[in-house]
Amino acid sequence: MILFFLVSGLFLGWSLGANDASNVFGTAVGSKMISFRKAAIIASVAVILGAVIQGAGASQTLGRLGSVNAIGGSFTLSLAAAFTVYSMTKFSLPVSSTQAVVGAIIGWNIFTGNRTDPGTLITILSTWISGPIIGAVFSVLLYLLIRRIKRASGIHLIRFESLIKKGLIIVGAFGAYSLGANNIANVMGVFVPAFKLHDIDLGLFSLTSAQQLFLLGGLAIAAGIITYSKRVMDTVGSNIIELSAEAAMVVVLAHSLVLFIFSSTTLSDLLARAGLPRIPMVPVSSTQVIVGCIAGIGVYKGVRNINFKLLGQIALGWVTTPVISGLISFFSLFLVKNIFNIDTGSKITDDNMDYYSSVVADENISLIFRYVLIGIIIAGSLALIYYILLERKRVKEIKLSEEKFWKNLK
């Protein structure tokens, strides 16, 4: 039963993969620089690595916004956020998973009578505004730089595009890594206090309880990318403004940098050591950042190129998403608590500050986790090898058919 509660988190992960992966590789796939299959594989691997290696930072900020202290509450608010993201994705509306989760947590706070920490809320809200602005500035600066280099070097167009393609793969992988690192907090953050799993020792490194949850969440995001993100990827980029190959790469790079900045504790520590203010570790909305980056390029090229109607719809989504998610969360918590009689959490007082109902610390669950994770990793690796072999066969077939054509012509 306790593992069942994770399903809503996994559903949210899947929705995030389906929706937000398009922010990372959408411009590359939309501009046909990279095939969807290649993009999906790279994004899946990188997102899992980001979630496991660097996912802890942003999770703590969400914890401060609302310390959900019952797994029933975590389950319900995750489900509310996932439902919001899924529904809006289904209707092709741009949606931010971060906003959905924040809205759902505030819904939980209101339902349980907890106070929403205004400082944390303001920190999160400010990154919703600063994220796209920083993204826009980064993208314009990088775009100017790359164009200057291109013009000065006199590089052949085909060689340049080939470099851009490689750049898109590297930057896209970095973007997916940052997405995993930054947004895994949305998917699994609320479940972390509920599980005390045994560490999994993998020889070279070991996975803590939180990392195991992040790995599972990362796998759910990867599943979302592979199964449902194609449609969104095909439309991103070309909708707001038609992007050239170098602009596509710049947008992904700027977006990845913003996400990385808001999830790198190392960078934040470095700034603090230099006497500068710390960077808040906040799960920023990758959708908002990417829109900011694309709009930045659009403004640089001339505002006439920008689809303002679509930008307006996106901005409206930014307001409606947390509100809808908060309302769904509130009413779902009411139903779960009163109809199914499940503990959804309580008001946090000085006495129950560190209290969390039904903490999972069972050895068997740790074992199940271990085998499920190892099984998924092996299956994923086999699928990857199969894909590589299939690609090689395809190229070989084309080469053979071409040789046959010229042989017949002689």
Q: Which residues bind other proteins (CB under 8 A)?
A: 31-35, 151, 154-159, 161-162, 165-166, 244-245, 301, 395, 398, 402, 406
CB of residue 158 vs other proteins: minimum separation in angstroms?
A: 5
CA dihedral 164, 288, 51, 266 (to 10 degrees): 80
Q: Which pair of structure tokens corresponds to residue 373?
A: 């994770």
Q: Output 151 or 309, the one with its CB closest to other proteins.
A: 151
- Which residue type occupies 305? N
What is the Cα–Cα distance from 221 to 15, expressed in whole angstroms?
7
Contact 134, 256 (CB under 8 A): no
Q: Output 368 or 398, the one with its CB closest to other proteins.
A: 398
What is the Cα–Cα distance from 8 to 187, expressed in whole angstroms?
9
Q: Output 201 or 402, the one with its CB closest to other proteins.
A: 402
CB of residue 149 vs other proteins: minimum separation in angstroms?
A: 14
Tell me the residue length of the chain: 410
Q: Output 1 or 157, the one with its CB closest to other proteins.
A: 157
Contact 36, 232 (CB under 8 A): no
CB of residue 34 vs other proteins: minimum separation in angstroms?
A: 8
In sequence order, which ranges of 55-156 are alpha helices (DSSP H)? Answer: 56-65, 71-90, 97-112, 118-153
Q: Output 38 or 196, the one with its CB closest to other proteins.
A: 38
Q: Output 129 or 145, the one with its CB closest to other proteins.
A: 145
Q: Output 171 or 342, the one with its CB closest to other proteins.
A: 171
What is the Cα–Cα distance from 126 to 36, expressed in whole angstroms?
34
3-class SS letters over 5-32: CHHHHHHHHHHHHHHHHHHHHHHHHHCC
Distance of CA 403 to the CA centre of its chain: 45
What is the Cα–Cα distance from 185 to 338, expressed in whole angstroms?
28
What is the Cα–Cα distance from 106 to 108, expressed in whole angstroms?
5
CB of residue 35 vs other proteins: minimum separation in angstroms?
A: 7
CA neighbours closer than 13 Å in the CB half-sphere of residue 92: 9
CB of residue 241 vs other proteins: minimum separation in angstroms?
A: 11
CB of residue 137 vs other proteins: minimum separation in angstroms?
A: 22
CB of residue 243 vs other proteins: minimum separation in angstroms?
A: 9
Q: Output 28 or 95, the one with its CB closest to other proteins.
A: 28
In sequence order, which ranges of 276-307 are alpha helices (DSSP H)? Answer: 286-301
CB of residue 408 vs other proteins: minimum separation in angstroms?
A: 13
Contact 144, 267 (CB under 8 A): no
What is the Cα–Cα distance from 219 to 217, expressed in whole angstroms?
5
CB of residue 394 vs other proteins: minimum separation in angstroms?
A: 9
Q: Output 165 or 196, the one with its CB closest to other proteins.
A: 165
Q: Which pair of structure tokens corresponds to residue 281?
A: 């570790």
Distance of CA 64 to the CA centre of its chain: 20
